[in-house]
């Protein structure tokens, strides 16, 4: 595997650095990252480099069914240190490789997976490991095409498909688990040491010994770089446990693109950080952080971390999930155009890596979300428009904002309150000077079937008149300082503050009880709230103004004695996890909770939505927000969006309008603004901007059926809600780096939001397939080819390039309403976009949108199909079928499907809901009749290009008016031509 040596030749870094970069470490300022990179440099320079780690062949122990094995691992540089390996393959072919130090000075942090995983995955009973002379091996999958080799010496894990290498662990020999040691023992080991010939692997290795312990120096370097203490800015990390970092190379031979590891403000197809063609000089960093005015093009850490990476080529997609909770840096290189290398360097933790064998993007999403969970199905209202700012300053302010929306007929579902609602930033406690009547205010919003979301941050003001703080303190639930005894104190919005340790099981029920709207005896609870109030969890990285890197000291202690450094990246997820449970516990039966989180980890998708934090009101930030939302979507966390308008700054009308264009095609749609910005609610815009934004929001609302269906699919299959090109067309190389246009769910809608100032037209790439794509608005038919095609389309301020792929049926609801629940009984329009072959299909999923009754089968799931009535016919037969009855294999909610009854209560409730219009695009000829149940329907036909013509130009349009068909029943419309 020498081909994968990375040369660390780094291209010029972008020169513009924002003001606050000095608050955050670069790799060279983090001891363990320096050590990891230096290890990789030594390996690259040394042609006979060989990993010192090997498996003791005699120790291999197969489980009784041969489905898993364990083995002892040794490192030749520390022959006395023991490591244990545990390897298993799950039912779905995912390979899990774990390694830990055995009988070390203490236990390494081994709980990251337990927070990330939905449940302990089942080990496959079908797959059998066999032990050979050089390693342990298993083969599985179709024709046993997937082979896993775990070699003894050096320890290396290779996954091949059809003989081709897909994923290789430790192929470059960078695996290193720094075992626990004491300063004294290290000093002692150096005393009077002679260079022992036999301890060194090669002559070259001998030459790099420069005074440190000779046996280790060739591998670990010649200094104890940052082992025992580290300083950064004015902070000193005492590092009481010494060095314990973990390095591992994970390479993807035969894959020339990698995606994932959010959150970074960068391109979806990750630019390189090392070797030839490197775009960045620093590795990607995962260390949840509150980065003020973050850069729009950087590997710097942001608020969340999902350590999942996918590698892609025209014929294969594979991935890895590295269950690590500590700070992690990832170098990405491309040793050859079609192969990718990665090097993961973590501060602490065991090695716990899941290899996702693919081989398609859809398989990967299934594999990853079977591990960490699919995104929760949100309440339907949560897909509407959210209006936020820091801050609506009083109850009357909230009421008047709501009034202005209604006066201007602009749809909105949710009004938000930022931190200023609370008295002295004691969350939950209303500032009665400005919010004298909070429950009445919320009821006024809820009266129009809207909702409120109120912020609850994790920092608790340390004052005796704040029951949330005093209870947490008195129950011993606060995060401790490094001494493990004293409550930690830091600064945030609330001044001197403390933080609840959500890793402490004692905090769980207590936190839930706070959100109860009924009195709870002696226990304080939020009676001045409503059961429908959603919660916004911010600052949960955690953000601490006077802490190192604006966060918590790493030596702080959590439940179980773990240092904060072990679990830093998981911390924010626990807060939103517990909050979502708390919100759910307010009613029995529970309603679907809405919780927005800023910080996140693998698994956070189970608990709510996220946003990309404090973006700037610049075009660059608008554009990178689209890419970040896509990156989150493929990493399992679909319910994502960016602050519409940009958090900082006062966007000019053009920018604000374009930002709404981005927002209405984001899974999570919220406008938000910093406290110092001018008010910019859409009703404040002058014409024509105001009307354009209103139309865009109405477009979003009309498409809620498409979004909801996409969310439902995501919640079942793990497929992202917004899908980049490589996901939908995995074989189309032209699309592998595309991240400024994407598909909405499986609907066939392709959109390219405009993020360029002054744009009047946009270039859009149509995927490599011989297919027609219709402009959503003017029905112009464009043709792609098997090579793909770039088209240029008008993109004036009021225009969003939006296309329907031929072969799709798009269900919409087109009556403008003030909020989405008011649309519940509105009729549907079906847009049938015929393919070249004259066919189409689409789906619609509906349920009550707020409870969990869908899990008991209370939903409607329809399939709309358009097909030719006869081979040579120019007409079309449109039908509506019950998709639930077909029980497609990919549905995991088999229980609900198995017992599905099409006359369930919800279906009955919407049985009167009609299809009010059917629009058929691309019909080959004017119909001679259009009938349903033998009766002629009302229709009009505008001639134009037919789908089968293979021409471009305005498509023919058949509009069938009010066919009097129910959305829930089976029907057929016959168009004869
Ligand atoms: C930081 C958040 O990112 C921002 O959205 C919020 O307005 C402020 N905190 C104040 O709560």
Instruction: State whether 214 and 136 are in the same domain.
Output: no
Atom of ligand 1 lying closest to residue 419 CA:
11
Q: Among candidates 328, 332, 317, which has minimal Cα distance to 266?
A: 332
Ligand 1 pocket test target in 289, 388, 390, 550 with most atoms within 8 Å of CB: 390
- Based on the number of CB atoms within 10 Å of its own CB, is 473 exposed (0-12), middle (13-18) or buried (19 or more)? middle
DSSP 18: -
Is 863 a catalytic site residue?
Answer: no
Tokens 């929306």, located at residue: 405
Task: Evaluate whether residue 205 is within a structural domain.
Answer: yes
Q: How far does the centroid of ligand 1 lie from the alpha carbon of residue 655, in Å? A: 21
Instruction: State whether 165 and 308 are in the same domain.
Output: yes
Q: How far does the centroid of ligand 1 lie from the alpha carbon of residue 356, in Å? A: 36
Tokens 């244990």, located at residue: 84
Of 302-306, 456-460, 883-887, give the lowest mean pLDDT range. 883-887
Is residue 6 predicted with pLDDT exceeding 50?
no
CB 148, CB 318: distance < 8 Å: no
Per-residue pLDDT band for 247 (boundaries 50, 70, 90) equals very high
Q: Which 3-state string (H, E, C) describes 698-721?
A: HHHHHCHHHHHHHHHHHHHHCCCC
Q: Which residues pair with 146 in a beta bridge?
A: 140, 161
CA gap 162, 17 in Å, rounded: 46
pTM as predicted:
0.96
Instruction: State whether 277 and 343 are in the same domain.
Output: yes
Helix (H, G, I), strand (E, B) or coil at 743: strand
Identify the domain boundary among 238, 253, 273: 238
- Nearest residue by C-alpha to atom 4 in ligand 1: 614
CB 916, CB 828: distance < 8 Å: yes
Catalytic residue among 237, 297, 549, 614: 614
**Residue 902 burial (CB count, 10 A):** 16
pLDDT in tens, 339-367: 999 999 999 999 999 999 999 999 999 99
Per-residue pLDDT band for 391 (boundaries 50, 70, 90) equals very high
Q: Among candidates 115, 73, 122, 74, which has minimal Cα distance to 96?
A: 122
CATH of the domain at 917: 2.60.40.1180
pLDDT in tens, 913-933: 999 999 999 999 999 999 999
State how many domains the chain has. Answer: 3
Ligand 1 pocket test target in 535, 539, 551 with most atoms within 8 Å of CB: 539
Identify the domain boundary among 190, 209, 238: 238
Task: Evaluate whether residue 447 is within a structural domain.
Answer: no
Quick one: tokens of 757? 């100032």
Q: How far does the centroid of ligand 1 lie from the alpha carbon of residue 541, in Å? A: 13
Instruction: State whether 221 and 263 are in the same domain.
Output: no
Is residue 203 predicted with pLDDT exceeding 60?
no
Quick one: tokens of 426? 């004691």
Instruction: State whether 225 and 344 are in the same domain.
Output: no
Cα torsion 569, 571, 577, 579 to 10°: value is -140
Atom of ligand 1 lying closest to residue 614 CA:
3
Atom of ligand 1 lying closest to residue 598 CA:
3
Task: Evaluate whether residue 771 is within a structural domain.
Answer: no
Catalytic residue among 541, 732, 739, 916: 541
Instruction: State whether 868 and 941 are in the same domain.
Output: yes
Atom of ligand 1 lying closest to residue 643 CA:
5
Q: How far does the centroid of ligand 1 lie from the alpha carbon of residue 602, in Å? A: 22
Task: Evaluate whether residue 69 is within a structural domain.
Answer: yes
Q: Among candidates 582, 624, 591, 629, which has minimal Cα distance to 610?
A: 629
Instruction: State whether 230 and 279 are in the same domain.
Output: no
What does the mean pLDDT of the chain come to?
94
Atom of ligand 1 lying closest to residue 675 CA:
7
Q: How far does the centroid of ligand 1 lie from the alpha carbon of residue 538, in Å? A: 7
Is 352 a catalytic site residue?
Answer: no
Is residue 2 predicted with pLDDT exceeding 60?
no
Catalytic residue among 420, 538, 549, 713: 538
CATH of the domain at 290: 2.60.40.1760
H-state helical runs in 515-652: 564-584, 619-634
CB 331, CB 37: distance < 8 Å: yes
CA gap 672, 645 in Å, rounded: 7
Task: Evaluate whether residue 44 is within a structural domain.
Answer: yes
pLDDT in tens, 563-608: 999 999 999 999 999 999 999 999 999 999 999 999 999 999 999 9
| Count of residues making up the chain | 977
CA gap 40, 8 in Å, rounded: 9
Identify the domain boundary among 372, 399, 434: 372
Helix (H, G, I), strand (E, B) or coil at 582: helix
Task: Evaluate whether residue 662 is within a structural domain.
Answer: no
Instruction: State whether 203 and 320 are in the same domain.
Output: no
CA gap 551, 541 in Å, rounded: 7
Is 224 a catalytic site residue?
Answer: no
Instruction: State whether 95 and 228 are in the same domain.
Output: no
Q: Among candidates 814, 817, 816, which has minimal Cα distance to 827?
A: 814
- Nearest residue by C-alpha to atom 7 in ligand 1: 390
Ligand 1 pocket test target in 386, 388, 418 with most atoms within 8 Å of CB: 418
Q: How far does the centroid of ligand 1 lie from the alpha carbon of residue 302, in Å? A: 14
pLDDT of residue 646: 98
Tokens 């959590």, located at residue: 558
- Average pLDDT of the segment spanning 476-499: 98
Ligand 1 pocket test target in 614, 641, 672, 677 with most atoms within 8 Å of CB: 614
Atom of ligand 1 lying closest to residue 543 CA:
1
Quick one: tokens of 302? 């942001």
Instruction: State whether 39 and 88 are in the same domain.
Output: yes
User: What residue ranges line ligand 1, CB within 6 angstroms?
Assistant: 390, 418-419, 455, 538, 598, 613-614, 647, 672
Atom of ligand 1 lying closest to residue 455 CA:
11
Q: How far does the centroid of ligand 1 lie from the alpha carbon of residue 850, in Å? A: 27
Instruction: State whether 117 and 48 are in the same domain.
Output: yes
Task: Evaluate whether residue 624 is within a structural domain.
Answer: no
**Residue 894 burial (CB count, 10 A):** 11
Q: How far does the centroid of ligand 1 lie from the alpha carbon of residue 508, in Å? A: 25
Instruction: State whether 70 and 145 are in the same domain.
Output: yes
Task: Evaluate whether residue 758 is within a structural domain.
Answer: no
Q: Which domain holds residue 843?
A: 824-977
């Amino acid at each position: 595997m020498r081909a994968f040596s990375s040369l660390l030749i780094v291209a010029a870094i972008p020169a513009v650095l924002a003001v606050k970069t000095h608050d955050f470490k670069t790799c060279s300022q983090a001891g363990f990252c320096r050590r990891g990179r230096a290890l990789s440099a030594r390996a690259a320079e040394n042609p006979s480099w060989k990993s010192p780690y090997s498996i003791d062949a005699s120790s291999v122990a197969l489980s009784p069914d041969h489905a898993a094995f364990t083995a002892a691992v040794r490192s030749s540089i520390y022959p006395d240190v023991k490591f244990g390996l545990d390897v298993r393959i799950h039912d779905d072919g995912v390979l899990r490789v774990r390694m830990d130090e055995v009988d070390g000075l203490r236990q390494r942090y081994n709980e990251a997976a337990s927070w990330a995983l939905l449940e302990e995955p089942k080990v496959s009973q079908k797959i059998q490991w066999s032990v050979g002379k050089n390693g342990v091996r298993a083969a599985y999958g179709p024709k046993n095409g997937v082979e896993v080799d775990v070699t003894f010496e050096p320890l290396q894990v290779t996954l091949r498909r059809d003989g081709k290498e897909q994923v290789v662990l430790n192929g470059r020999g960078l695996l290193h688990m720094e075992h626990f040691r004491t300063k004294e023992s290290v000093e002692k080991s150096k005393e009077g040491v002679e260079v022992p010939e036999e301890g060194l692997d090669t002559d070259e290795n001998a030459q790099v010994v420069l005074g440190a312990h000779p046996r280790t120096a060739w591998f670990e370097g010649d200094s104890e770089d940052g082992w025992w203490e580290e300083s950064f800015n004015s902070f000193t990390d005492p590092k009481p446990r010494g060095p314990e970092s973990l390095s591992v190379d994970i390479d993807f031979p035969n894959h020339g693109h990698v995606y994932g590891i959010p959150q970074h403000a960068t391109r979806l197809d990750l630019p390189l950080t090392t070797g030839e063609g490197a775009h960045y000089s620093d590795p990607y960093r995962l260390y949840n952080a509150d980065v003020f005015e973050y850069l729009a093009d950087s590997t710097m850490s942001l608020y969340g971390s999902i350590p999942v990476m996918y590698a892609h080529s025209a014929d294969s997609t594979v991935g890895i999930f590295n269950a690590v909770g500590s700070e992690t840096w990832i170098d990405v290189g491309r040793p050859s155009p079609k192969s990718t290398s990665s090097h993961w360097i973590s501060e602490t933790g065991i090695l716990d890596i899941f290899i996702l064998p693919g081989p398609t993007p859809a398989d990967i999403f299934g594999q990853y979300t079977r591990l960490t969970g699919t995104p929760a199905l949100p309440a339907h209202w949560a897909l509407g428009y959210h209006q936020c700012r820091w801050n609506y300053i009083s109850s009357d302010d909230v009421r008047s904002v709501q009034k202005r929306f209604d006066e201007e007929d602009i749809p909105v579902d949710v009004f938000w309150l930022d931190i200023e609602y609370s008295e002295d930033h004691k969350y939950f406690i209303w500032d009665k000077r400005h919010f004298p009547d909070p429950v009445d205010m919320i009821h006024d919003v809820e009266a129009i079937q809207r909702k409120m979301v109120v912020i609850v941050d994790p920092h608790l003001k340390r004052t005796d008149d704040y029951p949330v703080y005093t209870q947490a303190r008195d129950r011993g639930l606060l995060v401790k300082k490094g001494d493990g005894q004293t409550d930690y104190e830091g600064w945030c919005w609330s001044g001197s503050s403390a933080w609840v340790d959500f890793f402490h099981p004692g905090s769980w029920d207590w936190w839930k009880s706070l959100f109860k709207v009924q009195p709870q005896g002696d226990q304080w609870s939020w009676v001045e709230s409503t059961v429908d109030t959603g919660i916004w969890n911010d600052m949960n990285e955690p953000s601490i103004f006077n802490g190192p890197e604006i966060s918590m000291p790493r030596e702080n202690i959590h439940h179980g004695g773990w240092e904060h450094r072990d679990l830093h990246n998981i911390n924010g997820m626990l807060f939103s996890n517990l909050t979502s449970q708390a919100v759910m516990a307010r009613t029995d039966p529970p309603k679907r909770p809405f919780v927005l989180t800023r910080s996140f980890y693998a698994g956070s998708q189970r608990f709510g939505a996220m946003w990309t934090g404090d973006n700037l009101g610049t075009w660059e930030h608008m554009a990178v927000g689209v890419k970040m939302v896509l990156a989150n979507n493929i990493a399992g966390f679909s319910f994502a969006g960016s602050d519409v308008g940009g958090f900082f700054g006062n966007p000019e009308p053009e920018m604000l309008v374009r930002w709404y264009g981005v927002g209405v095609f984001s899974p999570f749609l919220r406008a938000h603004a910093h406290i110092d910005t001018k008010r910019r609610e859409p009703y404040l815009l002058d014409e024509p901007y105001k009307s354009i934004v209103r139309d865009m929001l109405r477009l979003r609302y009309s498409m809620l059926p498409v979004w909801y269906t996409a969310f439902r699919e995501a919640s079942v299959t793990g497929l992202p809600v917004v899908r980049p090109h490589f996901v939908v067309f995995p074989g189309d190389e032209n699309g592998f780096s595309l991240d400024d246009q994407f598909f909405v769910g499986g609907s066939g809608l392709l959109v390219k939001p405009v993020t360029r100032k002054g744009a009047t037209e946009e270039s859009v790439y149509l995927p490599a397939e011989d297919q027609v794509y219709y402009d959503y608005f003017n029905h112009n038919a464009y043709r792609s080819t098997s090579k793909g095609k770039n088209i240029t389309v008008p993109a004036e301020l009021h225009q969003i390039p939006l296309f329907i792929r031929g072969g799709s049926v798009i269900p919409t609801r087109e009556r403008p309403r003030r909020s989405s629940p008011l649309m519940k009984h509105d009729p549907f329009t079906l847009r049938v976009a015929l393919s070249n072959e004259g066919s189409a299909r689409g789906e619609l999923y509906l349920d009550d949108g707020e409870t969990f009754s869908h899990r008991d089968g209370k939903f409607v799931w329809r399939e709309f199909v358009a097909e030719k009535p006869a081979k040579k016919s120019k007409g079309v037969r449109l039908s509506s079928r019950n998709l639930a009855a077909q029980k497609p294999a990919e549905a995991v909610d088999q229980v609900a499907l198995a017992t599905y009854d099409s006359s369930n209560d919800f279906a009955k409730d919407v049985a009167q809901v009609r299809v009010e219009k059917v629009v058929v695009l691309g019909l080959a000829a004017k119909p001679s009749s259009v009938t349903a149940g033998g009766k002629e329907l009302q229709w009009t036909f505008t001639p134009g290009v037919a789908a089968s013509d293979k021409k471009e130009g305005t498509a023919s349009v058949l509009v069938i008016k009010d066919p009097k068909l129910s959305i829930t029943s089976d029907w057929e419309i016959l168009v004869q031509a």
